[in-house]
Structure 1
């Protein structure tokens, strides 16, 4: 068995983004993972740790796309069956890509929370191993490896001025936070980005307690958990790290996806566009003007979390939908 399923992804400097913010911008290219996103780090580790064998009845994962892709990929490599439960909001593209990985796809409910309830039911009734998409310490431990790679790439004595991440269920945020702690970079602020309408973390930060959204109204479906995981919320509250929660509109996230495609020649989904939009929409400059980020900012690290839920047809569809 492979030592791990994820790749050590490239850390690229973006000249155009650096020019926009007036400090070097480094892109951690998690879109280059075999499953299309960072999720494979944590899910790969978790599947190895739970001791899956060829005798296993298989894994079940609830996912709007990327966690499911990672679980399906890892299960295929380990020779066990995978059942991925997706909400009806998932595109045909996602369903097809999951099936191409050899997974059985079940559609349940309207949003991720509904699909997750079905996955938990299948765990009970079918004896499948449940793979959580974002809320598990092994996932965060796996995701933390990307910060260790960044530290190795930057070399001794160098560190980011801030890290930009998208937040859905909060697994990436927890992994980055753990990675920063492991690297001794607890003074590096995290800018946690969501789209309005998929903003369960921002709502929780404002309320001072976990909030369950009534619905996911954003087109960034992969950010669509109605409640962020408790550990992510705790990072936003506890003060051991600085976490700045910010929102962009769907239009800003989509515009960021298009600009990134033009300038960096890489297509990512809107969930990832939320983090990119912090640079493209001028939000980083505003945080500097407000004194929430230093005026003299060290290199900006952007986690390009990736995404398997997009192609040119989907991009065109989103443009028309959001212009309407």
Structure 2
């Protein structure tokens, strides 16, 4: 969904940057404040993505930032600008984990006490890390929005300064320093993709880049299961969504902030959404091809590139916004990502009910290069003919084409095959050769 009128690069050069809550001067001042505190994170070439998109792709590695995400930039900027009187009362924050860690470390570096509210189901490594940086942590509510409500109430009761996760000019300015680094590291960048949660990072990066390079295309990427931005941009004001459900907890924000909405809606070119399978595939891609541990929220820009590789001009920079992921979540996401990438295939095959049939089937599957991980054998699994049995086999494969070849060769040998899982990405099944319906497809 376009947030600004689409124009050519030449046209945008002549268009003045609209007035926004945070501008280039604010971001440059934040950069001076952050010097020696945050890392200038590396920019890594992504050859596999470049081959897919047909243009150079670079990964801005904020997953390698202190505390494992970009959040230390905004958190430190906000707290460093508090008055002495404000610091005496301490700070309070709410977060699913990354902002919590950024605020906790920033407060410790600046000698300020910190209290953090996190959702009850926040990832344990993020909770432990936040406590390790010296913050007092309270687990409250189901979502980040619930934690925000608890934190604001705590601020009213105690006088602590509430450090919002995204909706404050200092936060936006600090996050915008990522954009300055991108321009210096990839001077010829044509498109920048940034994950969109509350909009602090996206708004800050957009302000930095738009001021210096108005020709660059700026794209926000949000998880489809927690997509408040499309409705908000369409309505022209922040709109809340309910019932969020996504593995990308770091960008699961139910409503854009008033300040970030003004910032983002004025500056970005486009906002796209990505599904859970795309996020899972992107996480696996980063592990396998980029050798990067990135959390689901952090891989949203990569997911967008994998979904539509030819959509944007290059060179492209995708911001990997964080690398803090619960190992148990990573295990589940990796499994889902492998399924989405057609690396698993589950088949139900009818074979004669006589000695040696199962061994023969498994030998043929093995001969096709698939690794059998599970086998189930049944005589009563549906309307199978007398003298036949159903064998369900789960396989590790080498991708979609390998899945297709396995099914095709088994059917060519006369087997009745039903694909019950895996296969082509996004379908849950393989192709339907010979007119057979597979799991609802025809």
Q: TM-score range by the shorter chain?
A: 0.7 to 0.9
The yes-or-no answer on 1:40 pairing with 2:72 is: yes
The yes-or-no answer on 1:92 pairing with 2:124 is: yes
Equivalent residue for 1:260?
A: 286
Q: 1:313 aligns with which of 328, 339, 346?
A: 328
- 1:20-59 CA distances to partner (integer Å, 9 max, x unpaired)? 1111111111111111111111111111111358962321
Q: 1:12 aligns with which of 44, 49, 60?
A: 44
The yes-or-no answer on 1:101 pairing with 2:101 is: no
Equivalent residue for 1:145?
A: 177
- 1:259-317 CA distances to partner (integer Å, 9 max, x unpaired)? 10111111111111211101222x242x3xxxxx4xxx231011111132x14332113
- Look up the SS of the partner of 2:215 in the other structure: coil
> What is the CA–CA distance in structure 2 between the aligned matches of 1:234 and 1:55, rounded to whole Å?
29
Alignment of 1:226-265 (within 5 A): 226-235=254-263, 237-238=265-266, 241-265=267-291
Equivalent residue for 2:431?
A: none
Q: Please identify, of 63-72 and 93-102, the stretch whose mean Cα deviation from structure 2 is larger.
A: 93-102
What is the total number of aligned residue pairs between the two structures?
307
Specify whether residues 278 and 110 from structure 1 end up closer, same or farther in structure 2 by C-alpha distance, changes over 3 A only. same
Alignment of 1:158-237 (within 5 A): 158-182=187-211, 184-235=212-263, 237=265
> What is the CA–CA distance in structure 1 between the aligned matches of 2:34 and 2:86, rounded to whole Å?
15
Equivalent residue for 1:290?
A: none
User: Does the 8 A contact of 1:159 with 1:185 survive in 2?
Assistant: no
Specify whether residues 237 and 44 from structure 1 end up closer, same or farther in structure 2 by C-alpha distance, changes over 3 A only. closer
Specify whether residues 232 and 55 from structure 1 end up closer, same or farther in structure 2 by C-alpha distance, changes over 3 A only. closer
- 1:69-124 CA distances to partner (integer Å, 9 max, x unpaired)? 10011112122221110112312222112112121111111111111111111111
- 1:153-200 CA distances to partner (integer Å, 9 max, x unpaired)? 23xxx3311100100111111111111133x21221111111111111
> What is the CA–CA distance in structure 2 between the aligned matches of 1:127 and 1:235, rounded to whole Å?
28
Specify whether residues 193 and 106 from structure 1 end up closer, same or farther in structure 2 by C-alpha distance, changes over 3 A only. same
Structure 2 unmatched runs, 5+: 1-32, 340-420, 422-442
> What is the CA–CA distance in structure 2 between the aligned matches of 1:151 and 1:52, rounded to whole Å?
35
> What is the CA–CA distance in structure 1 between the aligned matches of 2:157 and 2:130, rounded to whole Å?
22
The yes-or-no answer on 1:80 pairing with 2:112 is: yes
> What is the CA–CA distance in structure 2 between the aligned matches of 1:151 and 1:236, rounded to whole Å?
19
> What is the CA–CA distance in structure 1 between the aligned matches of 2:36 and 2:92, rounded to whole Å?
20
Alignment of 1:55-66 (within 5 A): 56-66=88-98
Specify whether residues 173 and 55 from structure 1 end up closer, same or farther in structure 2 by C-alpha distance, changes over 3 A only. closer
Q: Please identify, of 48-57 and 93-102, the stretch whose mean Cα deviation from structure 2 is larger.
A: 48-57
Equivalent residue for 2:298?
A: 272
User: Does the 8 A contact of 2:203 with 2:264 survive in 1?
Assistant: no
Q: CA RMSD in A?
A: 2.3
> What is the CA–CA distance in structure 1 between the aligned matches of 2:112 and 2:171, rounded to whole Å?
19
Specify whether residues 52 and 304 from structure 1 end up closer, same or farther in structure 2 by C-alpha distance, changes over 3 A only. farther
Deviation at 1:219, TM superposition (A): 1.9
Specify whether residues 217 and 22 from structure 1 end up closer, same or farther in structure 2 by C-alpha distance, changes over 3 A only. same
Q: 2:102 aligns with which of 60, 70, 84?
A: 70
> What is the CA–CA distance in structure 2 between the aligned matches of 1:54 and 1:212, rounded to whole Å?
31
Specify whether residues 55 and 299 from structure 1 end up closer, same or farther in structure 2 by C-alpha distance, changes over 3 A only. closer
- Look up the SS of the partner of 1:149 in the other structure: helix
Equivalent residue for 1:26?
A: 58
Structure 1 unmatched runs, 5+: 288-292
